[in-house]
Amino acid sequence: MNTKQGLEIDRVDNGYLASWWVYNGEAIKHQMCFMEENKEHGEIECFQRLLYFITEHFGMIGSKHDARRIRIITGEEDENL
């Protein structure tokens, strides 16, 4: 059985580092780095990518057709609400 356990997020100089373990007969550590791009909204876009990753990691992404789901929006989409 391939299972993921937990998720650790660390703030680094230019973004975030996500670490988690996958157990499939042996424990294997995985890491993914989310780097801020050097542009106007780079920090916000980086954090948004991290939030999408977290919802997918825990199986909470849902479908746009679901009555209730987690939505991650930026200021641009807020104007249309």
Summarised one tens digit per residue, pLDDT across range 22-53 is 888 888 999 999 999 999 989 999 999 999 99
Question: CA 52, CA 64: separation in Å to the nearest integer?
Answer: 14
pLDDT band at 2 (very low <50, low <70, confident <90, very high): low
**Backbone dihedral angles phi then psi of residue 75, each to the nearest 5 degrees:** -55, -35
pLDDT band at 81 (very low <50, low <70, confident <90, very high): very low
The whole model's pTM is what? Answer: 0.79
Predicted local distance difference test score (pLDDT) of residue 6: 84
Question: CA 76, CA 3: separation in Å to the nearest integer?
Answer: 37
pLDDT band at 3 (very low <50, low <70, confident <90, very high): low
